[in-house]
Amino acid sequence: MAEDAKDLKAVENEEVKAVETEAVEAPAEEKFAKSGKKSKKHIEEVKAEEERQARKAETKAKEAENKPKGAAPVTRPKIERRGKKYQKADKLIDHKKAYALSEALELAQKTNTTKFAGTVEAHVRLGVDPRQADQNIRTTVVLPNGNGKEVKVAVFAPLDEAKKAAAAGADIAEDEEFLKRLEKGQIEFDVLIATPQYMPKLGKFARVLGPKGLMPNPKAGTVTTDVEKAVKEAKAGKVEYRVDKQSVVHIGLGKTDFDLKQLEENAQVFFDSLKAQKPASLKGQYVKSVYITTSMGPSIMVENIYN
């Protein structure tokens, strides 16, 4: 009996050890949320998507290895992708040569590629940093021969000042009626002049006028108490120029049907104005390069007369 009891106890001990061993070896059941990113369904979907992307990448890699390589694409030079008129005009220019200003202007007239009288433009790359307040060049200049563009001038001022502006040649000269035009989206002018006391009334239209470059600004001379003088200057050929983010100044000097002397006079006045705007804090080179071109014509490198 004693031996049978011992055997029975030994069997029970072995069964207990087996159960404990299974409990240790069995992995703990993973717990999932009922819904959301930690739910069992979502986790399985993510794993399936990862496996699908891996198979897709592997298939693409095999296709790329087996795909025969063709000839390298041939890119034509930029000049060959231009029109015939442009190519013909470009042959008149020696792009390795820096022309004198008068020569460049004369050549610009000859290389105009349009049927209409194109604008003769000057593009000047400066050594300034536009992010610096004192180097952010912005001013106006009155071209003695105008820029060949008919300018429509609007004046927003008190009634007595508006009458003076109309007499000076303003196309639109109004008081409160002008705000009604803006509310209707009627922007039928190229230059807007306003008196300082009327500027706050234009505040709500800044998002419309600002991107178009029509918002009056004291630096541009379009916020003034002497609206009569401002109108006359605008009509006479007063233009604004400013440096862009790439430190380049762009300005129209006139039309290709101007006399060469008229273009030279306009260009000289502009360059004198630009030279006067040199920041006192600038230590390096001010004018880096100058190019003359027409609206749709090739560019002409000009001698750097200031360096």
Looking at residue 276, what is its pLDDT?
92
Most confident of 8-17, 67-76, 79-88: 79-88
Angle at 234 between CA 253 and CA 150, to 5 degrees: 65
Q: Count of alpha carbons within 13 Å of 280, Cβ hemisphere only?
A: 0
Looking at residue 104, what is its pLDDT?
95
Full DSSP string of 13-49:
HHHHHHHHHHHHHSPPPPP-BSSSTTBHHHHHHHHHH
Instruction: Give percent of the chain with pLDDT exceeding 70.
Output: 90
pLDDT band of residue 256 (cuts 50, 70, 90) is: very high
Looking at residue 8, what is its pLDDT?
54
Looking at residue 307, what is its pLDDT?
58
Give the integer Cα–Cα distance in Å for 202 and 215: 8
| Mean pLDDT of the region 112-117 | 89
User: What are the start-end ranges of the H helices in 131-170?
Assistant: 159-168
Looking at residue 18, what is its pLDDT?
56
> pLDDT for 20-78, tens place per residue?
555 545 455 667 777 777 888 888 899 999 999 999 999 888 887 887 777 777 888 88
Q: How many Cβ atoms are within 10 Å of 215's Cβ, its own excluded?
A: 20
